[in-house]
A and B are shown apart, each in its own frame.
Chain A
């Protein structure tokens, strides 16, 4: 599925045996960071919070119709990296982002880029379900309304129905669209948030630990949903659960202290990690 072409960054010294076992010098990323036909291409992305560097020269592609999961111990920068992809870090005054992130070949880190259309193209689902304290209908309708996607009430109704169907929530809520979204269960709320995100037809969906606040059954439903959404979207998911990464993703990226340590096919990462740190992490030696 993915090519094995290395980016220059990944090539420079990253593959030497010395680096593979080194804990301190992580000169680059092990594995293939690029894909053939990327939706998003990040190169040498650095993020600083004030003086503290949270992300160190990370390069990674997000491919079409794939789920890429990002794993790593807490504070490794995986969420920070995810939030770069729709410039959510802009809301943090001390955050500085440098490098290059291309969405369909267009630079998005440029200050002159308007984040409104970017966030319509790159949707986000957050860790804690955060429906608006409004009705279920209004929750999904908000995005299409502000972007003026639909022309009539009927069109909007249709879009809301199809979004809720795609999010696997339609059957449960179709008779109570007027009820507040905050009255749903945690798992339903998270699917409502997914429906709200896909209602604006994004190209990429970012998910920041979408199941961490949910019970195993709701988690299973969401994971199934992620697998279905892959047909139409590129999905980047941050997760603390390695099982989840193994179940839902095609590629996995392992982050450690701001470095992207290793990227590869999910199967390969979990069965045959090439970097010592990755191996330690997935075998549960730390993290």
Chain B
């Protein structure tokens, strides 16, 4: 087959050079690349779009919850009503009928309202929490008795909704929760500048309540805080210790392989299962008080341990073996090599894992339902064994409530929760950046 004429090395039978084949296929290859890029862009855009829609929806529904409507009334602190005996006894002052003061002020404001049923409707425009506002004022300063003071009183949630434009006047009267006479009074108050929206501090300082205008996230925040602190205290040392032992000290045999597989599987177990386990073991067997941050933290610890162990092992693996050898080479014991050199270098990675685990625990709801943290708790917890709820459970509870005013509070609580989650994730990212090492 040796032909006397040697063909050009890049040609074929038809005389086309290799470069022609390459050029012919080039267009097709570029088109495929463009298609792939377009698909990727579309996927990312779609994802961002959904996130944007979610955020816009939540913020649009929730931002109004950071404001609360107040009604200004000149309250006459009548000594006859508050303290007929003149004893100024704290108990007497606390038990006084402050609602009567508000009623008197409202009657004075609207003297034309004389019908009994109208008077009832009128006094309903202030919150049932308003008398306690006056009670606190008097207890703080008994000198108020006998004077007349202009006081901004908490409005009822329906009035609040009206002030925020969430009551549609065009609806027929029997389809609205506020009837025409109430709207008339509110319009009159608004015209006189006695109806005003102010920053809703109560949302951040109150516990839960059946009355939307009195409900706040302080109890849930405190519950989440206590639960997370305990979760971190329990899970971080155990997780890091387990990772360190498994990664650096444990013999590599069938048992440790089995343990490793199980830890990886535990990370994928539905969280409600951990709740059932907590109910059966921690509450059922050990009698840990239910509904408390303590039991919540124990369950969360079970849930976050796999995450922390896996992250910690990854962090340990990323420490170069030369560091271990260097330490062992100068005569450090294995424990010294680990604690003096490997652990400090792996710590940022471990902390990142722990923070991400904590973020997951902060957003977790399902297992807590099993251990009684869904209870309706008004008081802000002050310790690890006080009954409490947590932020995501609070959101769940409010989302279930029929009152229109709870909708905006649900969204506002979601905003607070998301803010904390973002803060934690940001911390994890910054920590990773800050301590990232080049070897």
Contacts and interface: CB of A to CB of B under 8 A. Distances in A.
Interface in B14-40: none
A132 B329 contact: no
Given A116-B331, A146-B331, A93 B252 contact: yes
A124 B325 CA distance: 9
B336 interface: yes
16 contacts: A91-B328, A116-B333, A119-B328, A119-B329, A120-B330, A124-B325, A126-B325, A126-B326, A130-B320, A130-B325, A132-B323, A133-B437, A142-B327, A142-B332, A197-B329, A200-B331
Interface residues on B, range: 20 to 34
Nearest to A199: B330
A8 B329 CA distance: 33
Contacts of B265: none
B438 to A, nearest CB: 9
B10 interface: no
Interface string A227-269: 0000000000000000000000000000000000000000000
Contacts of B341: 132
Interface of A: 86, 88, 91, 93, 115-120, 123-126, 128, 130-133, 142-143, 146-147, 193, 196-197, 199-200
Interface string B211-244: 0000000000000000000000000000000000
A143 to B, nearest CB: 4
B322 A128 contact: yes
A79 B297 CA distance: 51
Given A132-B323, A132-B341, A196 B330 contact: yes
- Shortest 3 CB-CB contacts between residues of A and residues of B: A130-B322, A120-B331, A143-B330
Contacts of B340: 142, 146
Contact of B330 (A91, A93, A128, A197): A197
A119 B331 contact: yes
Interface in B340-395: 340-341, 345
Contacts of B251: 93
Contacts of B432: none
Contacts of A93: 251-252
B197 interface: no
Interface in B83-106: none
Given A132-B323, A132-B341, A126 B333 contact: no
B332 A146 contact: yes
A132 B331 contact: no
A133 B336 CA distance: 16
Nearest to B253: A93
Nearest to A93: B252
Given A93-B251, A142-B340, A123 B322 contact: no
A126 B330 contact: no
B324 interface: yes
Nearest to B325: A126
A118 B332 CA distance: 11
Given A93-B251, A116-B333, A130 B328 contact: no
Contacts of A143: 330-331
A133 B322 CA distance: 11
Nearest to A127: B322
Most chain A CB within a 10 A radius of its CB, from B330, B333, B340: B330
Given A133-B323, A146-B340, 11 more contacts: A88-B329, A91-B324, A115-B328, A119-B331, A120-B330, A126-B329, A130-B326, A133-B345, A142-B330, A196-B326, A196-B330
A88 B332 CA distance: 12
A119 B324 CA distance: 13
Contacts of B345: 133
Given A93-B251, A93-B252, A142-B340, A131 B326 contact: yes
